[in-house]
Amino acid sequence: MVSSDRGKAIVATVLALGASSVVSGCKDPVQTRYEPSDAAKSRGLVAIEKTGCGSCHEIPGVEWPRGRLGPSLAGFDDVGLIAGKLPNRPGLLAAFIRNAPAIKPGSTMPPMPVTDAEAQDVASYLYGLDSD
């Protein structure tokens, strides 16, 4: 399993190297391309594991659980619209994580028991999952 993951990672890296020259030119520079701090990212991972986001999402870095009720959160900084609706900005993402139905009416992700600060750390972690 490890070796096949590694194999995939190598393929992905090769593809990314090939593609980066093309893609990097057109990345949105300011808001979505921000660099979260390592401390915030690791606090975010702790909050994700404590809250059990994995019971509905596959999240890179979370071995278990890998629920499939919600979308996979891999490569989140490249997602265009949060839940297909909201511009992908840190503030909005944090607000969505905390209380999805309030930010996106009708969202089927329930409000999550995380504090405001935790939600921001979780957003940092998700943006930190840089795939390129």
Q: Name the site residues for another protein (rule: CB under 8 A).
A: 49-53, 55-56, 65-69, 98-99, 101-102, 108-115
- Least distance in angstroms from the C-beta of 27 to ligand HEC: 18
Instruction: Give yes or no for a cis peptide into 110 (omega within 30° of 0).
Output: no
- Least distance in angstroms from the C-beta of 122 to ligand HEC: 5
**Which single residue is written with the structure tokens 């520079």?**
29
State the binding partner of 91 from ligand HEC, another protein, none, CB within 5 to 8 A by kind. Answer: none
SS3 at position 72? coil
CA dihedral 35→75→97→32, nearest 10 degrees, is 40
Q: 68 burial class (0-12, 13-18, 19+ CB within 10 angstroms)?
A: exposed
- Least distance in angstroms from the C-beta of 52 to another protein: 4
Q: Which of residues 51-80 bind ligand HEC (CB under 6 A)?
A: 51, 53, 55-57, 69-71, 73, 79
State the binding partner of 1 from ligand HEC, another protein, none, CB within 5 to 8 A by kind. Answer: none
